[in-house]
Amino acid sequence: MRNAGLDRIVQDWVISEAVGHKKPEPEIFQAAADAVSIPLLDAWVIGDSPHADIAGASTLGLRSVWVTDGRAWDQDSYQPTRVADDVASAINLVLGTSG
């Protein structure tokens, strides 16, 4: 994060090894919400992994944006809240969504 300069534009981040949990485990999502001091249920999950990101969000009842990277959605048991072609578009979707 620091090497890429992202530490200047994000509030905080969570490293799975540091908290002892990996996506889609609920604890990693809670740790991320705690790191930025927001209630977990107010969070959005943006990710490119149907299983780790979107299924994890769905299990917790969180809103999500799946970053397709040109792929088609192939899951039947859960769906993302929104779909975007890239991370920048996903962020714009979240920022443009109220409530």
Tens-place pLDDT, residues 29-39? 999 999 999 99
State the sign of the Cα–Cα–Cα–Cα dihedral 91, 95, 98, 99.
positive
pLDDT by residue (tens digit) across 22-61? 999 999 999 999 999 999 998 999 999 999 999 999 999 9
> pTM of this prediction?
0.87
The CATH superfamily assigned to 6-95 is HAD superfamily/HAD-like (3.40.50.1000)
In this structure, the dihedral spanned by the alpha carbons of residues 43, 49, 51 and 56, taken in order and rounded to 10 degrees, is: -10
pLDDT at 98 over 60: no
